[in-house]
A and B are shown apart, each in its own frame.
Chain A
Amino acid sequence: MSVQDDIRQTAGQLLADGKVDLVIGFAEGTLAMKAAPCFITAADDVEQLVWNSFCLNNLAVYLSRCFTPDPQLREPPPPPKVAVIVKGCDGRSVVGLIKEQQAPRENLTIIAVPCDGMLDADVARRVLGAEEIVAADEVDGAVKITDETGKETTVDRKELLAEACRFCTHRAAAVYDQTIGELPADADPLAPDDQFEAYCQKPTADKWRQFCSEISKCVLCKACRSACPNCYCRTCFADQTRPNWMGSGAKLGDVIFYHLGRLFHQAGRCVDCGACVRACPVGVDLRTFTYKLVEDAEQLFDFTPGLDLEQAPPLTVFAPGDSENFITDPE
């Protein structure tokens, strides 16, 4: 049975048996190389669910929303029972949300599916120098792409992987209730991350310059925050008015403040799913900076988020052997 058929059958069964109220998965998108998050509440609707190489979104972003009732309701309904289809990155985010008490474990049915890396239409546009991808057809790892001029090009899927997927090492969820298909083992990144390495090699002043120059493109829509499963604060610090932490955005310093604030809150939590980068409407490269935090968490605290439910997040505990180098010797 194909993964897609299996997903439909599993979702249908869970709904029919009343084990869940809602299945969060993917449906066919309206654009080429896009699948859309979808919410299935009736077993009759499971045919809407699809599984293909374009299921890029991190679905964990919806969990904290599912468990936040409408504040207007005097008597909020009991929290729903939710099944969520997870790739490696979604699964790791779900673990983080459970640990941070944003999603009750007992209300979740985590369905782990195999992921070979997802393909990104924006990457395809860049690779082909195209304005728009109008069709994409994948057969055995080769993707036939039609651009806006009608020109067809066949490209190896590896060329089209979303940036985060190129460097992904944990391809399958580590915590789950059900599996579909055969989950892939951890793998090495497809290619060395030259861009990130180049950043790490820079002296601090140059790192700061790169950060400021990249961040100066930001339009402060804060879509990076909205797309991030970790950004579940009921009111974001950037939106608070009493006190007002942030300036209006008229100065670059305001923009820097927002991004530093958001980035620092990701230390030891970011799973490098790339949702923030893909949501950005103006192509700010946030990943270089979030990935630095991922690497710091690994190197300084030997911690990789989202792999188990027991290990405490590094910034919530103190251990006598904790690294202090980043304070005393930041270079």
Chain B
Amino acid sequence: MADSKMAKAKLGEFLAAVSADYEVYGPKADNGVVTFGRIASADELALTYSNSTVSAKELFLPKTETVYEFDGENFVDDPLPEQKRVVLGLRPCDCRALTLLDGTFDCERVQDPFYVTRRANTVLVALACDRPLSSCFCTATGGDPYGEEGVDVLLSDEGESFLAKAVTDRGKDFLEQYGKFFSGKAAGKWAERAKAASGKMTCDLSLAEVSQRLDGLFEDDMWERVSQKCIGCGTCSYLCPTCYCFDLIDDKTATGVKKIRRWDCCMFQSFALHASGHDPRPITAARFRQKIMHKFNYHPQRCGLNSCVGCGRCVRACPVNLDIRQLLGDILAAAPSAASE
């Protein structure tokens, strides 16, 4: 059962069975835009996409969520999201991204109750990538189109059926729970399919050394140059599966306030603005430097890994074609600066 297959014809029946026990989420397409949402039946699932437009991050860090409410007399904690969920059809890059988010929201110093509860209650059934896009660069960041980091069950689309492989114990239990939909042995095919997929990756960067290179570049005059065309729109962060910065804001209610956590972005003008009116990052160049340094210098120094899984969403969606691959490539290609030697 740890390694088997399911005929696609059974998908509807399988979903109905899973829906009886779990809330099911998956990719849905609307006019070419693929986002994750609640799935009621198999025909709502858009499984042939290369990657979703918006990452699956929002299922764990919603765009907005209530942290607590003050009703005028008492503080009331918002109930924890206890429902059991299955996310079906997300890509290995999005699963890997969640392991990076764990480093921030579920680590020694911090256990964010909402995030931790959602992670604990969610089975990730990922769909391996057989058609990576030319803008994908997961292999440059240490990922893989068939990567298993963060994945509970990995599926591979074989045409008429899905190969299924349990990666974690939770995945194994899940496949056993719905064992009647899976049959046969699929062992042996995985390595071949994974190799074919990674062979399609076109980006030959290796980002392992970027962190070191960035060490001496904080004061470099490159930042103004490379960020000149940036319009600070935040599209990159809003689509990014590893960007997690948030803002806490009070929404008035009839008798009190709700404390709301919502997505924020270091490219926004208001992001670093202090209550005093002072802004330590008053220009785009400073904000852009923060974004790159956080992902490729501070994060690897604190958590050991770049905060980027190479999903390519920022590359595809940037309205001014500020291509992070090009920037990182230039940083790697440049001779190490005197400061970092």
Contact = CB atoms under 8 A, between A and B. Distances in A.
A83 interface: no
A149 B321 CA distance: 23
B199 interface: no
A221 B134 contact: no
Nearest to B232: A226
B63 A219 contact: yes
Interface in A127-182: 131-132, 134, 148-149
A30 B258 CA distance: 44
Contacts of B270: 235, 239, 241
Given A219-B54, A221-B238, A281-B238, A30 B321 contact: yes
Contacts of A20: none
Contacts of A226: 231-234
A282 B35 CA distance: 9
B66 A282 contact: no
B239 A122 contact: no
Contacts of B258: 248, 250
Name A's interface SS.
Answer: loop
Contacts of A222: 233-234
B297 interface: no
Contact of A131 (B49, B232, B234, B284): B49
Nearest to A29: B321
Contacts of B263: 219-221
B17 interface: no
B133 A36 contact: no
B50 A249 contact: no
B19 interface: no
A61 interface: yes
Interface stretch (B105-113, B171-179, B312-320): B312-320
A122 B50 contact: no
A265 interface: no
B326 interface: yes
Interface in A290-319: none
Nearest to B228: A39
Nearest to B319: A279
Contacts of B33: 217, 282-283
B295 interface: no
B233 A71 contact: no
Contact of B317 (A35, A148, A235, A281): A281
Contacts of A251: 251
A131 B65 CA distance: 32
B53 A248 contact: no
Interface centre among B53, B228, B268 (most CB of A within 10 A): B228
Interface string A213-251: 000010111110111000000011001010010011111
A131 B50 contact: yes
Contacts of B283: 70-72
A226 B322 CA distance: 15
Interface residues of A, number: 49
Contact of B30 (A125, A249, A283): A283
A148 B133 contact: yes
Nearest to B279: A71
A283 to B, nearest CB: 4
A34 to B, nearest CB: 5
Given A248-B249, A250-B251, A235 B238 contact: no
A227 B231 contact: yes
B64 A248 contact: yes
Contacts of A131: 49-50, 131, 133
Contacts of B251: 247-248, 250-251
Given A239-B270, A249-B63, A223 B50 contact: no
Contacts of B30: 217, 283
B295 to A, nearest CB: 18
B323 interface: yes
Interface string B13-41: 00000000000000000111101000000
A279 B235 contact: yes
B282 interface: yes
A259 interface: no
Contacts of A61: 231
A37 B229 contact: yes
Contacts of B269: 235-236, 239
A132 B316 CA distance: 9
5 A-B pairs closest in CB distance: A223-B233, A226-B233, A36-B321, A248-B260, A279-B319
Interface of B: 30-33, 35, 49-50, 53-54, 63-66, 131, 133-135, 228-229, 231-235, 237-239, 249-252, 258, 260, 262-263, 265, 268-270, 279, 282-284, 315-317, 319-323, 325-326
15 contacts: A30-B321, A37-B320, A57-B319, A62-B229, A132-B50, A149-B131, A217-B30, A217-B33, A219-B54, A220-B63, A227-B231, A239-B268, A249-B262, A279-B233, A283-B30
